[in-house]
Amino acid sequence: MLLRLPSPPLSSSYLSTTTPIHLRLFSSSSSPRPRPRRRRSLFRCAAGNDLVEVDAFTNKSGYLFELSNSDANSIEDYDISKIGAIYRRRPLILLRRLFQTGLTFGKWFAFRYIDNLMERSDQMFEVRAAELRQVLLELGPAYIKIAQAISSRPDLIPPSYLDELSLLQDRISPFSTEVAINTIEQELGLPIEELFSEISLEPVAAASLGQVYQARLRRTGQVVAVKVQRPGVQAAISLDILILRSLAGLLRRIRKLNTDLQAVVDEWASSLFREMDYRTEANNGLKFRKLYGGIPDVLVPEMYLDYTTRRVLVMEWVEGQKLSEVNDLYMVEVGTYCSFNQLLEYGFYHADPHPGNLLRTYDGKLAYLDFGMMGEFKQELRNGFIEACLHLVNRDFGALAKDFVTLGLIPPTADKEAVTKALTGVFQNAVAKGVRNISFGDLLGDLGTTMYKFKFRIPSYFSLVIRSLAVLEGVAIGTNPDYKVLGSTYPWIARKVLTDSSPELKSSLHALLYEEGIFKIDRLESLLSEALRARTEKALLRKQEDERVVIKQILSFMLAEKGAFVRDILLQEFAKGLDALGLATLDSITTLATASIPFTSTFSFSTMTNEDKINLRTLHRLLLLLSRLQGIENSKAVIKEDIPYNNQQMNLEEASLVFNQLASIQDILPILSVIPELPPESQQQLLNLPADLTGRLISRAAARTIRRIIL
């Protein structure tokens, strides 16, 4: 229900002036206009007595609000030294908070212990879950934030606790609407009726840091969400972080942990303080909208900076259902693709994607809300994360150990061989199931013992990245218990590796495709197969593509500028293979010619080196790949491992197989049929390939001839 507000007198209305709102609201030469007393009675009468009831946090922890204005202003930004100095001057508040926290949690754990002794844990499970939620509400935002992250993991939390903790996402007891209106008027410097023509009587959602009202802007008539910060959150969170940071340092010393737990707390606290500044959140929302608002079926609401201050935020109103409450796997796929862009394309990511911040709109789009907690993922770390995923999927655990050093997870002085052996033991079973079945949560769980043994560290930046991915997988599991976020993200990683122009990823791709100088075509086929799964369009998600669509996708990639690096590798391998085929043909002719000459049948002569034999085998496998091109997406890499050549007869057999493959023209016809559908520049690039291949072949043959003459 919206309360229609009376129109303001024209003499005081912003309609009577051309001065922009944000200039009048924040002008240092004028003080905020006092709120008329009649507004207070208006909202008290309209809302009723229930809305002025004190919420649990204010009731139990209201003493934390007793900071002077100077102290409150000094901790607008996270600075642990300032926070420590403030509460050293107020030891009684610190001791009271310690006593309250210890007593509250101690009482709850005591009841759980008694339940176990009396063998009634199962009967009291739901009761204790509800009590835990009430405990968190009383203690306030810092503890609620921790619980919100946990509540997004249905695979880790019992259902009763999950149901209760999920209520903390947007169903926290609201504070007084009268206080909220007062905050809006003080922050924006205008009476409420000059800002909005309508506003809801009650908050439509209440979270740990603030609550949201639906309103209509008087100036434009736009329906908006008005977010108002909860009183006292800055003081409460500051004190709780001080306590948690001290406990983290104590725990690290007692358990002799390698991870700097205090740095992890600092990283989380910094992001939490940025979240409490709604001006930062508005700017984050604008940046997020610019980077990701153009992704199909992603909605990022518009921010109204003119109406935004440190404690009040006005943004576009979005309606929908929580993503966790709808069974829509397509929305999960859209979220996975958007997360890939956030983490690995631009490095600016939503670090708090719990179900309350992800909505499925009624027109079928995924809406992101709440941009207070964001993270930055630097380019070198993004490349390191991509390389780690590649090496994990391809079971290159030695390279994975080096990636962990790059990511800052293990110190450079660690024993690489021992780490490689340990990672092999941890990951080989998980990877054996295939990339599409790798669970991000399972990998983290399996890694626990190894992390402790080899002095793994959790860098401060990594905690937010892990949380973002873990929460996304948790939301997805609620829709599909078999969903694997890493398996769904890997196709985008494969596509990025194949198309990215950065020298680092080109080097990684080359190292992946060549092992001890031998071209691993099965790895290329795997990358192409996974890259073809990287799509979000609804029509393609139905997996009803015909072979022409798949072939056209591959050719378009190979002939485009972004496929130049892979195209160069393939041309080089074809040139090497055709050169080896020529040598094998020469050997075959020589063998046939000398077979009828007496006393020569027992002699075997070959011009082929071991490298040539490998190149011939690679050519055969490339032709097999080409013939299966239209079915590559569903192929299972049936190419067998390399078998050493023992005699010339095997060389001739391989050459015969290659010629037979070349004779299978019908396998190539589907490829030729889509050429007219390619863009003109791609067709021109295709016409240039024979000349390019011939040039490489001639250069190789000339170089070999010169080398053999000299040697």
| CA separation for the pair 640, 625 (Å, rounded) | 12
Q: What is the 3-state secondary structure (H, E, C) of 637-694?
A: CCCCCCCCCCCHHHHHHHHHHHHHHHHCHHHCHHHHHCHHHCCHHHHHHHHHHHHHHH
Length of the chain, please? 711
243 contacts 222 by C-beta, under 8 angstroms: no
H/E run at residue 274 = helix 261-275
| CA separation for the pair 531, 537 (Å, rounded) | 15
Region at 479 (left for phi over 0; alpha for psi -120 to 50; beta for the rest) = alpha
| CA separation for the pair 129, 135 (Å, rounded) | 10
Neighbours of 112 (CB within 10 A): 16
H/E run at residue 550 = helix 547-559
Question: Which pairing describes strands 298-299 and 374-376: parallel, antiparallel, or unpaired?
Answer: unpaired
Residue 661: exposure state from Cβ atoms within 10 A (0-12, 13-18, ≥19): middle
Beta bridge partners of 314: 226
Which residues contact residue 420 at a Cβ distance below 8 angstroms, ignoring those fewer than 6 apart?
397, 398, 400, 401
Neighbours of 576 (CB within 10 A): 21
- Kindly report the backbone phi and psi dihedral angles of residue 674, in degrees, each rounded to the nearest multiple of 5, phi listed first: -95, -5
- b/e 403-426 (16+ beta carbons within 10 angstroms → b): bbbbbbbbeeebeeeebbebbeeb
- Tell me which DSSP letter residue 259 carries: S
Region at 43 (left for phi over 0; alpha for psi -120 to 50; beta for the rest) = alpha
| CA separation for the pair 512, 524 (Å, rounded) | 9
Point out the catalytic residue in the list 352, 396, 500, 587: 352
The token pair that represents 201 in the structure block:
């009587």
| CA separation for the pair 24, 7 (Å, rounded) | 19
Q: Which of 311, 21, 317 is nearest to 180 (CA)?
A: 311
| CA separation for the pair 538, 333 (Å, rounded) | 10
Which residues contact residue 523 at a Cβ distance below 8 angstroms, ignoring those fewer than 6 apart?
394, 512, 513
- Tell me which DSSP letter residue 211 carries: E
The token pair that represents 33 in the structure block:
């206009």
Question: Which pairing describes strands 366-368 and 298-299: parallel, antiparallel, or unpaired?
Answer: parallel
Residue 517: exposure state from Cβ atoms within 10 A (0-12, 13-18, ≥19): exposed
Which residues contact residue 176 at a Cβ distance below 8 angstroms, ignoring those fewer than 6 apart?
51, 52, 53, 54
Rounded to whole angstroms, what are the CA distances from 332 to 159, 323, 454, 703?
21, 8, 35, 54
300 contacts 334 by C-beta, under 8 angstroms: no
| CA separation for the pair 700, 694 (Å, rounded) | 10
In this structure, the dihedral spanned by the alpha carbons of residues 421, 426, 429 and 430, taken in order and rounded to 10 degrees, is -130
Which residues contact residue 202 at a Cβ distance below 8 angstroms, ignoring those fewer than 6 apart?
1, 47, 51, 174, 177
* 612 is a catalytic site residue: no
Q: Which residues carry out catalysis? A: 352
